[in-house]
Amino acid sequence: MTRDSDVALDSYCDDLGRRSAASAPKLQVLSAEVKNAWLVRAAAIIRGKKETLCLANEQDLESAEQLGLSPSQIDRLRLDNARIETIAQSLESVARMADPIGEIIEGQVRPNGLRIQKMRVPLGVVFFIYESRPNVTADAAALCLKSGNAVILRGGKEAKHSNYAVYHCLHEALIDCELPEDAIQIVETTDRDAVSQFLGMTDYIDLVIPRGGKALIARVARDARVPVLKHYEGNCHVYVDADANLSMASEIVLNAKCNRPGVCNAAESLLIHQDMVHPFLGEVLPRLQREGVELRVCSESKTAVDNVVGRWKSNSPVIVRLATDADYYCEFLDLILSVKVVHSLEEAVNHINHYGSGHTDAIVTSSWERANQFTASVDSSAVMVNASTRFNDGGEFGLGAEIGISTDKFHARGPCGLRELTSYKWVVHGAGHIRN
């Protein structure tokens, strides 16, 4: 890149940051009715432009193989009429959510008569960087604007045409509703150096949210001078306890692994109590085999798998490999499942806390006591009891949508919706009070 082009990139990025920062104060004072009108209008425009959105998406899909995208990444990238309708419905769902801005979180009247209140306020400007999923363009914009924040969107080059098409629908709605046009901006250059520019904009940007692969998030966390809310990898576990209901456990494991294996809340590891290994594998293994799931197993579970398979009359092989230590750390995002036999609930918890990513982990059990022990001991953003890991999702949690699932512990954790995109300030009312 030449010196002149470096200057041009600096100027372009600085202009986006400056305009976003200028629009943020205008958003802080918008009424809920105005913001909701924009969300409803944006949903209507997206519905009316399904053909345009699908054509743009086809351009991205045609380039997907050249860019080396995996089948799961292509699935996340793909738009069709049903998924576009889901985008529109998500916008409308956010419109139905209560406006968090101005909410009094807590308050008290002091002995001297001062009224102290903690009020929810926007963060300001969010820089959101994400990969593959064009529906996230709409979700992020919806949540940011409804929570009074300006947003700068930087999608991946693999979804460039799709993201731009969705963005233009959102921008058209801003104009129609007479809202600040710079409230939602998209970075139109695919130059990687642009990301570095935004990560250093401490004067303009209040929060960076990366959502994508491990390499992207590691880079952002390393280089940012602005606070980062990390949507890190999802190495999610299902633990089948000693007294689990076999049918329930089988349904949960199948759903957690196979419903959409390429998403962050899909299960990547199966832990089975030693007392349940043979009966549970006898129940679930034929179903995993039919789904084409490859197993990465410990030596104890391999013996059980071999025994189960030996009783089958099936021409289709089960793909089984001995697991390495690295397999238990891995977010496969594919039809691959690591399997380990554990000898106690404590061993299951220790395994999860050691190998997991703090995203989502589940127990299947009939014991209320052990369920409580599991939820208290597993250090993850969401812990499920007798439910699939796939439920760790903003929509499923009643947040309307999500801008990501935070595996951090600072500021926000788990699915991040409207309230997670706010801060607070103290508001103090007196009557001529002065301090001695």
- The total number of residues shown for the chain amounts to 436
CA 155 from centre of chain:
14
**Does one domain contain both 56 and 202?**
yes
Contact between residue 126 and residue 421 where contact means Cβ atoms under 8 Å apart: yes
pLDDT of residue 307: 83
DSSP 335-374: SEEEEEEESSHHHHHHHHHHH--SSEEEEE-S-HHHHHHH
**Does one domain contain both 224 and 256?**
no
Alpha-carbon distance 303 to 120, whole Å?
Answer: 56
**Does one domain contain both 273 and 142?**
no
Alpha-carbon distance 67 to 164, whole Å?
Answer: 18
Domain count, the chain: 2
Residue 340 belongs to some domain of the structure = yes
**Does one domain contain both 186 and 266?**
no
Pairing of strands 150-154, 115-122: unpaired
Phi and psi at residue 420, to the nearest 5°: -75, -10
pLDDT of residue 32: 97
Pairing of strands 422-429, 414-415: unpaired
pLDDT of residue 314: 59
Contact between residue 331 and residue 235 where contact means Cβ atoms under 8 Å apart: yes
**Does one domain contain both 60 and 154?**
yes
pLDDT of residue 150: 98
Residue 406 belongs to some domain of the structure = no
Nearest C-alpha neighbor of 400 from the set 382, 414, 415, 390: 415
**Does one domain contain both 372 and 268?**
yes
Counting DSSP H helices and E strands in the chain, the numbers are 15, 16
Q: What is the DSSP letter of 278?
A: H
Residue 426, amino acid: W
**Does one domain contain both 270 and 220?**
no
Residue 29 belongs to some domain of the structure = yes
Alpha-carbon distance 152 to 247, whole Å?
Answer: 46
pLDDT of residue 76: 86
**Does one domain contain both 132 and 275?**
no
Rounded to 10 deg, the angle between the 32-48 and 135-146 helix axes is 160
pLDDT of residue 115: 97
Q: Where residue 267 sits, what CATH number does that domain have? A: 3.40.309.10
Q: Where residue 67 sits, what CATH number does that domain have? A: 3.40.605.10
Alpha-carbon distance 279 to 381, whole Å?
Answer: 31
Tokens of residue 208, six digits: 């960076």
337, β-bridge pairs? 295
Phi and psi at residue 210, to the nearest 5°: -95, 135
Bin 232: left if φ > 0, else alpha if -120 < ψ < 50, else beta: beta
Residue 400 belongs to some domain of the structure = no
Residue found by looking up tokens 């179903």 in the block:
287
pLDDT of residue 313: 60
Residue 313 belongs to some domain of the structure = yes
Domain region containing 261: 236-391
Q: How many CB atoms lie within 10 A of CB 189?
A: 15
Contact between residue 397 and residue 415 where contact means Cβ atoms under 8 Å apart: yes
Residue 153, amino acid: L
**Does one domain contain both 28 and 163?**
yes
C-alpha distances out from residue 432 to 107, 114, 428, Å: 19, 10, 12
**Does one domain contain both 286 and 219?**
no
What predicted TM-score, i.e. pTM, was given to this entire model? 0.86
Using alpha carbons only, what angle is made at residue 135 by residues 132 and 138, rounded to the nearest 5 degrees?
Answer: 125
Residue 339 belongs to some domain of the structure = yes
pLDDT of residue 312: 66
Task: Tell me the longest C-alpha to C-alpha distance in the chain.
Answer: 87
Residue 299 belongs to some domain of the structure = yes
Residue 111, amino acid: P
Contact between residue 197 and residue 9 where contact means Cβ atoms under 8 Å apart: yes
Residue 435 belongs to some domain of the structure = no
pLDDT of residue 266: 96
pLDDT tens digits for the chain (436 residues)? Answer: 333 456 699 999 999 999 999 999 999 999 999 999 999 999 999 999 999 999 999 999 999 988 888 887 888 899 999 999 999 999 999 999 999 999 999 999 999 999 999 999 999 999 999 987 899 999 999 999 999 999 999 999 999 999 999 999 999 999 999 999 999 999 999 888 999 999 999 999 999 999 888 888 889 999 999 999 987 789 999 999 999 999 999 999 999 999 999 889 999 999 999 999 999 999 999 999 999 999 999 999 999 888 887 776 656 677 899 999 999 999 999 999 999 999 999 999 999 999 999 999 999 999 999 999 999 999 999 999 999 999 999 889 988 788 889 988 888 999 999 999 999 999 999 999 999 8
Nearest C-alpha neighbor of 421 from the set 201, 122, 133: 122
